[in-house]
Structure 1
Amino acid sequence: MTEIRRIGPGPRMSEAVVHNGIVYLAGQIAKGASVTEQTRGVLAEVDRLLAEAGTSKARILTTQIWLVDIGTFGEMNAVWDEWVDRANPPARWTGEAKLATPEYLVEIIVTAAV
């Protein structure tokens, strides 16, 4: 049986789960007054969790991005474009959705190879 490793487990969910050479991150959110600030905070958390799992953004396979207002797509993309590994961009999709609380403007979910 293949080992399952949980990173940051809590009563409801883990921050990430590593299984069979893949790391699955829970949806990451961050505090901030704008989509720019929140996107930067989220991507810093993604970097931290990927490092803890033993991998990096160069090995991201897929990314889901949820925005409260799809009109902020360009603002989020400006931060993303500074951050993403241009030699290894993941498959990515972006949608508009209500998030858990009104102060969250962006949530990012990542799956990566370890």
Structure 2
Amino acid sequence: MQITLDNPAGAPQPLSPYYSQVARVEQADGGALLFVSGQIAEGATLAEQSRGVFETLTALLAAHGASLADVINIRTCLTDISELEQYGAVRREFLTGTPPTSMTFEVSRLFRPEARIEIEVVAAVPAGR
């Protein structure tokens, strides 16, 4: 099994030097699994932060030949679960196909005080990409 840890050029860089944004695990069939670290974004509203996160996820996946259509699992942390509908509306803009497996939960805070949402994903990249 080959594992590559990456902070792709051309994508937003990590906010800390203590983690990699993408772990690519090569599969025997020539495909790969991408494990993308939790992402946050700037913005005044949860919707703005959510859009920023999905834009960052899009860039990180694209750097490895994938897209949001390849996402098989998504985990979302919200600091206020009452804003779930606002997040859900943005999520539906970006995840338009069959929904991936999912877990969404409320946390008391995230590592940046201004962050209201953090999202991490796992994507399955077909062979040849």
Give the TM-score normalised by the residue count of structure 1. 0.92
Question: Is 1:102 the equivalent of 2:102?
Answer: no
- Listed one character per residue, the Cα deviations across residues 47-71 of structure 1 (whole Å, up to 9, x for unaligned) are 0011011111111110001000001
Aligned length: 112
Task: Give the CA deviation at 1:101.
Answer: 2.1
How far apart, in 1, do the equivalents of 2:94 and 2:112 lie? 26
Question: Is 1:23 the equivalent of 2:22?
Answer: no
Over the aligned positions, Cα root-mean-square deviation in angstroms equals 1.4
Any gaps of 5 or more consecutive residues in structure 1?
none
Which residue of 56, 61, 72 corresponds with 2:72? 61
Task: Give the CA deviation at 1:96.
Answer: 0.3
Any gaps of 5 or more consecutive residues in structure 2?
8-13, 27-31
Task: Give the CA deviation at 1:110.
Answer: 0.2
Give the TM-score normalised by the residue count of structure 2. 0.82
The structure carrying a bigger helix percent of its residues is 1
Partner amino acid for 2:4? Answer: R
Partner amino acid for 1:91? Answer: T
How far apart, in 2, do the equivalents of 1:91 and 1:29 lie? 20
